[in-house]
Amino acid sequence: MASSKAYGDRVASHSNRAAQDLLRTMERKQSNLCVSVDVTSKAAFLAVVEAVGPFVCLIKTHVDVIADFDADLVEQLTQLAAKHDFLIFEDRKFADIGNTVSLQYAGGIYKIASWSHITNAHTVPGPGIIAGLAKVGLPLGRGLLLLAEMSSAGNLATGAYSDQTIAMARAHRDFVVGFIAMQRPSGPADEDFLILTPGVQLGSKGDALGQQYRTPREVVFDSGCDVIIVGRGVTGSGESINVEEVQHQARRYRDEGWSAYRERIASN
């Protein structure tokens, strides 16, 4: 069972380069923390990434919210990824037919496939979305997460929808490395998906717009998920970045996430 194994020992269960690199990075940095950098200016974005870089295995982006996005932002982000040893996950949530998503992934202003190691997709269009993204991403060694579940109240990614999403992933193991999900799905003992989980915060149960929070321990120990995705719990809300506070929170979530993982491994 993947949840009982050390991250580093799971590299061999994956053929996808992005999945292998993420697991190796987690082991090397002793971090299962992904910080979601949801700020709207390039300066604030780069300031947060520089501040949290040492503590994370992964930086999650929504590049379409950055008002002054440009190619230099990607250049600087890529340099910070090398400097601080983390991977990049553009949380694009593709949701169209295969042909359209292949254009959206490769091109436009953002050229996501050229810099983002991991991205994600809804399965509502059917498996053609995976084929369309794989056509672009696989030759570059990229990986895809499917949204099997979401963190927000009242979302429709439940039951049969989640089950069919997992079945689609099983049929595309070369490119689909895992899920956005709230818990590890059950499956054969030798099956290894990466489970990345948003909706994580200490000291808050949710926001005013439907977000629902759990603690790192609930996510990693109780639910068997691999990576905690934390946004405002680390960055705060708004654009004014207090670097010391952001670093303090990143260290705190990194420590909480890692000790929950250690506890999980020890209990199995």
Toward ligand 5BU, which CB reaches closer, 140 or 202? 202
Minimum distance between the CB of residue 31 and ligand 5BU, rounded to whole angstroms?
A: 17
How many helices and strands, by DSSP H and E, does the chain display? 9, 8
How does DSSP classify residue 220? I
The span of 77-85, 97-105, 166-174, 227-235 binding ligand 5BU (CB under 6 A) equals: 227-235
Does position 146 interact with ligand 5BU (CB under 6 A)? The reply is: no
Burial of 261 (C-beta count, 10 Å sphere; 0-12/13-18/19+): buried
Q: Is-catalytic flag, 93?
A: yes
Does position 168 interact with ligand 5BU (CB under 6 A)? The reply is: no
Restricted to residues 195-214, the positions that interact with ligand 5BU (CB under 6 A) are 198-199, 201, 211
Is 231 annotated to bind ligand?
Answer: yes
How big is the CA angle at 146 (ends 185 and 114), to the nearest 5 degrees? 140
Q: Is-catalytic flag, 9?
A: no
Among the options 5, 42, 85, 93, which is catalytic?
A: 93
The span of 128-136, 171-179, 229-237, 238-246 binding ligand 5BU (CB under 6 A) equals: 229-237
Does position 91 interact with ligand 5BU (CB under 6 A)? The reply is: yes
Minimum distance between the CB of residue 199 and ligand 5BU, rounded to whole angstroms?
A: 5
Q: Is-catalytic flag, 91?
A: yes
Site string for ligand 5BU, 30-49 (x = CB under 6 A): ------x-x-----------
Does position 98 interact with ligand 5BU (CB under 6 A)? The reply is: no
Which amino acid type is present at position 156? Answer: L
Selection from 230, 220, 234, 233 nearest residue 266 by Cα: 220
Instruction: Answer whether 73's CB lies under 8 Å from 114's CB.
Output: no
Q: What would the DSSP string read from start to end of 186-226? A: P--TT---EEEE--B-SS-SB-TTS-B-B-HHIIIIIS--S
* Cα gap 151→249, rounded to integer Å: 21
Report the phi/psi class of residue 86: left, alpha or beta, with left for phi > 0 and alpha for psi in -120 to 50: beta
Catalytically annotated residues = 91, 93, 96
Residues that bind ligand 5BU (CB under 6 A): 36, 38, 62, 91, 147, 150-152, 180, 198-199, 201, 211, 229-233
